[in-house]
Structure 1
Amino acid sequence: MRTVVASLAALAALGAQASCPRPLQVPLAPIGVSVSFDGNQATGIYPTLLREVAADTGCQLEVQRVPRARQQKLFDAGQAHLLVPASATPARDAKAEFVPLIQVRASLLTLGSDPAPPRSLAQLLAKPDYKLVVVRGFSFGAAYDSAIATLRQRQRLVEEADTVGVARALQRGLAQGTVMTASILVGTLMVEPELQPLLKQLQSSPLDELGWNASGLYLSNSSLSKAERDTLRTAFGQAARNGRVWQLFNEHHPPGSLSQSIRPLP
């Protein structure tokens, strides 16, 4: 029996190696508790998920720290095999395969009390003095992308390399608000000691054009083989279906803090 079990294990390992015969490049950008770095060591929700998928599949997933905009450029150029995390967009769908992991809803996030925050992107655009700060390379769908392009053209957009830069821009009053999934900014404030006091000031307001959408990762069509995509799609999809992804989010966030911005796949 031990020989049979050992043989089966060996065959499984060989199958995994055949599916991922070379190291796969996965650049990551810091995003609060979702992705953080201690030196060269990546920690947080997605690095944990990547390590677990690597262990399950035998694929070697090599992580490197980069700014978010650089992460997208590497993926577009075929120099990165996975884009993690990512929301689904038509531009990305044209060159890669989307694997949903969670549902997210972006909202308008502000510091302090605004008695009448914009309730839609259209209202926000109609306020001539309203500035927004965002992470360069983030996308939350077509309506978001269009609004960001308009604000950039009107010189009412502040673009930062990461969410820490966004929080500091809000703190300094360089912009009135930001648009992203609330848990991303909450996670950033949690892990940055000098920014933690801002948690008590943070307010979230839904925007009409931004509903619930899937978030997950993209597998490159150009730099991954079909066998590699099949292996990774199955492994990440299983982690979403069996509740592991949702469990990781809950482990890294305060109880009850996710209901307005993140929920498991239906």
Structure 2
Amino acid sequence: MSLPLAGPVATFLLLFGLSNVCSAGQDTCSRPIQLPFASLGYSVITTGDTITGIYPDIIRNVSSKETCQFVFSVVPRLRLEVMFENGQADVLLPAIKTAKRDENGIFIPLIYTRATLVSFTSSRPAIKNMQELLEQRHLRVALVRGYDYGPAYLSIMEELGKQNRLIMEADALSVARMLKAGAADIGIMAPYIFFGTVQNDARVDDMINKIRYEAIPELSWGESGMYLSKKTLNANDRAALQHLLDKVVRSGAVWKGFQRYYKEEVLREGNRPRELPH
């Protein structure tokens, strides 16, 4: 299915003042910034080597010789995590803030998000918490390798593995296909990721109006944003990038980008805007 149309991306971003981000006299990066991307709903859309979506479009718009230039590449999500941990990537975007990632990078918050249980709409009683999920041993759960929504998510993954109910997949599309085929009963991820993935692939887009999102308290709201590498970026480059991102946050472009690409009901279940700094 094609992307929702609302005029050229550049025009959209200019409406929110991002054309002024790259003004003269601001700190500059000492070299091109290596920014590998993995497909992630409408946040990051990869078609071969072509990279678009909310975050690539914003970063592309603020990139300039006068501030910071970025070099994009496409990699699987799990490899992206490993690259960032090993000092082979300057930036991890988007990413949930976690203690493990804090060891390797400086976090810049951009939006709030949470993971929910994702399944086909059915008469099954709602799952209210982690314990109920673990007790329903007939339900098979599919997760994406490399996703990390914090300690509770990792605990669920570990317990499901012990129960032999865990299915690990390479990406969100694979999870959607498992659900459609009946090989899995539930996925766990942020609703916007699942929705964007399903809407953009003809093999699963007939699921779009049959999706059920179930929030459980253990998978609470967390910060999502960008990590700047402590290993590959020097202090001046991190400061320059933080300056650029501060402008992006102040413009409100991230939340407006999500509103442009996603239905309100999808955002209600899994995303909240950050309060803009004054």
**TM-score (normalised: structure 1):** 0.90
- 1:226 equivalent among 222, 225, 235: 235
Counterpart position of 1:65:
74
Q: Secondary structure at the match of 2:168?
A: strand
* 1:11 to 1:213, Cα distance in 2 relative to 1, 3 A: closer
State the Cα distance separating 1:39 from its structure 2 match: 2.9
Secondary structure of the structure 1 residue equivalent to 2:209: helix
User: Is there any run of 5+ residues in structure 1 with no aligned partner, and where?
Assistant: 1-8
CA–CA distance in 1 between the matches of 2:255 and 2:85?
Answer: 28
Distance 1:81 1:111 in 2: 38
Aligned to 1:54: 63
State the number of aligned residues.
254
Question: How many Å apart are 1:11 and its aligned residue?
Answer: 6.2
* Equivalent residue runs for 1:171-186 within 5 Å: 171-186=180-195
Say if 1:80 and 1:223, in contact at 8 Å, map to a contact too. yes
Report the CA distance between 1:62 and its aligned residue. Answer: 1.1
Report the 3-state secondary structure (helix = DSSP H, G, I; strand = E; otherwise coil) of the residue aligned with 2:51.
strand
1:12 counterpart (22, 25, 34): 25
Once the two structures are superposed, the pairs formed by residues 129-168 of structure 1 within 5 Å of their partners are 129-168=138-177
Aligned-partner Cα distance in 1 for 2:23–2:258? 33
Whether the 8 Å contact between 1:100 and 1:237 is mirrored in structure 2 is: no
Deviating above 3 A after TM superposition, structure 1's stretches of 4 or more consecutive aligned residues are none
Residue of structure 2 equivalent to 1:261: 270
2:130 maps to 1:121: yes
Q: Say whether 1:208 aligns with 2:188.
A: no
Q: Deviations over 1:8-57 (max 9, x none)?
A: x99627x42xxx22222111111121111233120101111221232396
Cα RMSD over matched residues? 1.9
Unaligned runs of 5+ in 2: 1-21
Name whichever of 153-162 and 178-187 sits farther off.
153-162
TM-score normalised by length of structure 2: 0.86
More helix by share: 1
1:173 Cα deviation (Å)?
Answer: 1.4
The answer to whether residue 73 in structure 2 is matched with residue 97 in structure 1 is: no
What is the CA–CA distance in structure 1 between the aligned matches of 2:105 and 2:93, rounded to whole Å? 12
Report which stretch shifted further, 249-258 or 120-129: 249-258
Q: What CA distance in whole angstroms lies between the structure 1 residues aligned with 2:24 and 2:62? A: 18
245-254 or 77-86, which moves further after superposition? 245-254
Distance 2:198 2:61 in 1: 26
Task: Say which SS state the counterpart of residue 55 (structure 1) adopts.
Answer: coil
Query: Which residue of the partner structure matches residue 35 of structure 2?
Result: 26
Deviations, residues 220-255 of structure 1 (Å, cap 9, x unaligned): 111111111111122223312321111111111134
Mark the CA change 1:155 to 1:247 in structure 2 (over 3 Å): closer, same or farther: same
**Equivalent residue letter for 2:80:** Q
Distance 2:254 2:221 in 1: 17
Aligned-partner residue type, residue 208 of structure 2 = L
Tell me the CA shift for residue 147 of structure 1.
1.0
Structure 1 partner of 2:93 = 84
Go from structure 1 to structure 2 and tell me whether the alpha carbon gap of 1:160 and 1:57 turns closer, same or farther (over 3 Å shift): farther
Paired position in structure 1 for 2:253: 244
Inter-CA distance 10–180: structure 2 relative to 1 (3 Å threshold): closer
Identity among equivalent positions (%) equals 33
Q: Is the 8 A contact 1:106 1:182 kept in 2?
A: yes
Shift of 1:74: 0.4
